[in-house]
Amino acid sequence: MRVLVVEDARPLADLVAEGLRDQGMAVDIAYDGLEAATKLDATPYEAVVLDRDLPGIHGDALCQMITSQDERPMVLMLTAADSPGDRVGGLSLGADDYLVKPFHFPELVLRLRALARRRPYARARVLRAAGLELDPVHRTATRDGRLLDLSVKEFEVLAALLRASPAFLSAEALLEQVWDEHADPFTNTVAVTVSRLRRKLGNPPVVVTTPTVGYRITDPSE
């Protein structure tokens, strides 16, 4: 899941982003509304964690900008205000969910995953191809019924390949979908992660590589 965290309190923004990355999400940060608007224009996010009281462009205005789009990210609005009127006000702006500061981080994660499932054009919940089955909600993956013990990034790479199957995904596309804006475009981390994933998937191989093109899932029986 690609997430934009928009929060002007830098320590909180950095802490939330680090925690979400530990949960396998690709996370970018904007510390004010203007920076957020620029990133939203350049990147297709699945969810936005949006502080309501922002400099540059206020969170209310930014929320309305986001929710006026056809294919838009889901918005989880954060606020320090806890009155019913504040919650109603935030939701009336088009926010999909509302969380009051201070919040428990596990609740934030659960709410974000729930929002991703609620997107009108969200992909199928369970992904299947070539004997592989991946459930992004329960975070499980199997091959021919055998449970796979995957790291966070291996799981997300497999999910991206299954979503794209039978098409190829380039290393650049995987880097963009599974990592975030701080990833080094010249890194070999994609190749290393795919190599580890192949070993865990076992034989016969189901992830193939075509030089200069990318990676894809193939069914050995075909």
In a domain, 36, yes or no: yes
End-to-end CA distance of the chain: 31
Domain that holds residue 53: 2-118
Q: Are residues 104 and 172 in the same domain?
A: no
Q: How high does pLDDT run on average in the chain?
A: 87
Q: Are residues 15 and 55 in the same domain?
A: yes
Q: Are residues 111 and 23 in the same domain?
A: yes
CA distances from 118 to 12, 151, 207 (A): 26, 25, 30
For 149-179, write each residue's pLDDT tens digit. 999 899 989 999 998 888 999 988 888 888 8
The closest alpha carbon to 161, from 118, 114, 123, belongs to 123
- Number of helices and strands in the chain (H, E): 8, 11
pTM over 0.75: no
Among 2-11, 177-186, 200-209, whose mean pLDDT is lowest?
177-186
Q: Are residues 7 and 112 in the same domain?
A: yes
In a domain, 222, yes or no: no
For 59-100, write each residue's pLDDT tens digit. 999 999 998 887 789 999 988 766 555 656 656 678 899 888
Distance CA 130, CA 149 (A): 18
DSSP state of 84: H
Indicate the helix (H) or strand (E) that contains 27. Answer: strand 26-30
Q: What is the DSSP string of 140-164?
A: EEEETTEEP---HHHHHHHHHHHHH
The last residue of one of the domains, among 92, 118, 144, is 118
- We report the CATH number of the domain holding residue 132 as 1.10.10.10
Evaluate whether 168 touches 214 at the Cβ level (below 8 Å).
yes
Domain count for the chain: 2
